[in-house]
Structure 1
Amino acid sequence: MFDRIRRSKPDTFDIEMQRRHQEAFEMWQRMPLPTPPVPQPAPAHGGGPAAGDVQPSEPVTEMDDFLPPDLRLPSHDQVAGRMMPWLPPLVLDGEVVTCAECGAYRDWIIISTQDQIWLRCRAGHQQQETRLDTAWYNRNSAPVDATHATFEDCLRHLGH
């Protein structure tokens, strides 16, 4: 019932806001457009710079806005591959992936190299997983936290 009464009476606050908005819009329309500054010709006198003259500054040396070389990570085409740990069981197509040699089904190292995905179990057995691709790896991997010179260094970093 109160809602019908409220809807039937115009809200004075809303009417006042609409009026103020209309006034501000009309005032904005009446404002002149800004004109760009016109460059002044250089003075023809032979002396030094006169007061108010702006001298051209020294040429600005371009700075590389990227990270210094010691903080940069190699790009994807400069590394042999990437690895990430995968602790829970890996389920693909409704089936738990197990190691073909020892039967392990969790605590994998997933290796992405040359557009192939390889799985490495804790015992060190490796098998290619054709149901996974680089796009899957990129969706599920975290940002790179370290780079390593050798495969073994990376395995040690990941705890294998």
Structure 2
Amino acid sequence: MKRQDRKREDTTVFHRIRRRAKSNEMRRLHDEAWAQLEGLVPPEAERTPAEPQPCEPASVVDDFLPPELRVLSHDQLDGRMTPWPQPLVFDGDMVACAECGAYRDWLILSTRDQIWLRCRRGHQQQEMRLDTAWYNRHAGPADATHATFEDCLRHLGH
């Protein structure tokens, strides 16, 4: 072994020993400081009353939204739909309508934990590769609710 290499190795060993000693010293100081703090009580704790003060019961307030502005929850709806103008591609295959061959401008329908695709011509097919979680991730917020399926189709321009 060369003399310079041995000297470098010796200095790195000494650096490690110094670091370890410094680390042990810091640990000792930390433990001492922690032991001094252990018995102390914060001043705020002494000022806090031991028993809770009785308070007046909160007044009952009606829901903040009037009934005409409330949105139905997902379990109160028969289904949801969203337009999907671009092609749908799953596992490298482009989805096409089984009847007319259309591959874009879909309506994606989510109902009863099933996903259905509806082409512009009104043909519908169930898409087994999609689920409600996929629909929830990709659908935007609802901008309206409709009493009938036909009303919703008209609203979305189909």
1:141 to 2:150 alignment: no
Match of 2:126 among 122, 125, 128: 128
| Structure with greater helix percent | 2
Deviations 1:15-65 (A, max 9, x none): 5643442222101222369688555xxxxxxxxxxxxxx8x554321446x
Over the residues paired in the alignment, what is the CA RMSD in angstroms?
A: 3.7
Which residue of structure 2 aligns with residue 30 of structure 1?
Answer: 39
For residues 13 and 63 of structure 1, what CA distance do their matches in structure 2 show? 62
Q: Which amino acid aligns with 2:108?
A: I
Which residue of the partner structure matches residue 46 of structure 1? none
Equivalent residues, number? 143
TM-score by length of 1: 0.63
Alignment of 1:40-55 (within 5 A): none
Shift, 1:108, TM fit? 1.5
Which residue is equivalent to 1:73?
71
Runs of at least 5 residues in structure 2 that lack an aligned partner in the other structure: 1-7
Tell me the alpha carbon deviations over residues 111-150 of structure 1, each in whole angstroms, 9 at most, x when there is no partner. Answer: 0112322101233332222443334423x33452323224
Match of 1:105 among 103, 106, 126: 103
Helix, strand or coil at the partner of 1:123: coil
CA separation of 1:7/1:136 partners in 2, compared to 1, >3 Å: closer, same or farther? Answer: same
Displacement of 1:78 in angstroms is: 1.1
Identity %: 54
Q: Structure 2 vs 1, CA of residues 73 and 86 (structure 1 numbering), >3 Å: closer, same or farther?
A: same
**Structure 1 unaligned regions, length at least 5:** 40-53
Aligned CA distance change for structure 1 residues 9 and 128 (closer, same or farther; 3 Å):
same
**Equivalent-residue separation in structure 1 for 2:36 and 2:151 (angstroms):** 70
TM-score (norm 2): 0.63
| Cα distance in 1 between the residues matched to 2:55 and 2:17 | 68
Aligned partner (choices 12, 17, 20) of residue 8 of structure 1 = 17
Contact 1:112 1:134 in 2 (8 A): yes
